[in-house]
Amino acid sequence: MTSLTVMAWDTSSPWCGLALARLEGRALTPLGHFCSSGGTHSGLLPHQVSLMLEAAGLKPSDLNLLAVGRGPGSFTGLRTGLALAKGLALGAGLPVAGLSSLEVVAAPAIWGESPAGLVAPVIDARHRQIFTALYEAAPGQGYPLVCLLEPRPVFPEEFEGLISPAAGGRPVLVTGPGLELVRAAYPLGLPAGLVLADAPAPPDPLSLAHLAGCLFQGQASLESYPPIPMYLRRPDIRTTGLTLR
């Protein structure tokens, strides 16, 4: 069985998450892991990438695949993570896959130690909104997730009305870095069938490495997973009202 060495990071949320892992089939062996919400992505990520590779005794050219979270999420964070991925991939001649950060949040809950049938990941979208989607486990040995509801921004108060019909009465685990926004919108608790995770969870870079490795080993076309940002709404740009002549 061919071994695959993957480096992955996600900068879509306030957390900067980075991982190095080796895959053999579906078996994942972590070689390095970093996750911090202290500092800026641009200040943390390049340095941590160098430290992690050095600690593992690897050079960028020793990797088989780079994986990067493409959002939705922080515009500034996404630009940092995606720019570094594309630059490193170009310099080392590596393939790079960009995956939805919502999928990365959902993956551990779907096929982790305590798997959930349906998962609705939530990421803070600012302006009192969250980004969300709905996923379930895929059958067979292909890509592990199936998307039942495409990613979109929504006000937390509208979350139940969006997710419950899409779930068709099946229980849904709600998880992710935007968890507290959903909790605050439903002070009396969510309706039966929607279960909140115990604590907010950032996108896990080891899960990102695992998902990307499954794509690569399955010989999926990485052109369908480009390292470009997933913007679900326009950036926050304010005009000054001045007219340039």
Q: What is the pLDDT of residue 189?
A: 87
Query: Tell me, what's the pLDDT at 184?
Result: 96
The arithmetic mean of pLDDT across residues 1-23, rounded, is 93
Domains and CATH numbers, the chain: 3-100+204-224 (3.30.420.40), 101-196 (3.30.420.40)
Percentage of residues of the chain with pLDDT beyond 90: 73
Output 111 or 119, whichever has higher pLDDT: 119
Q: Which residue carries 């990071």 as its tokens? A: 9
Is 144:111 a contact under the CB 8 Å cutoff?
yes
- Has residue 141 got a pLDDT over 80? no
pLDDT at 135: 96
Query: pTM for the whole thing?
Result: 0.90
Nearest to 184 by CA among 110, 105, 128: 128
State the Cα–Cα distance between residues 12 and 122, nearest whole angstrom: 12
pLDDT for residue 27 is more than 50: yes
Q: Mark 186-195 as b/e (b = at least 16 C-beta within 10 Å).
A: beeebeeebe
Residue 216 CA to residue 30 CA, distance in Å, equals 18
Confidence of residue 244 (pLDDT cuts 50, 70, 90): very low
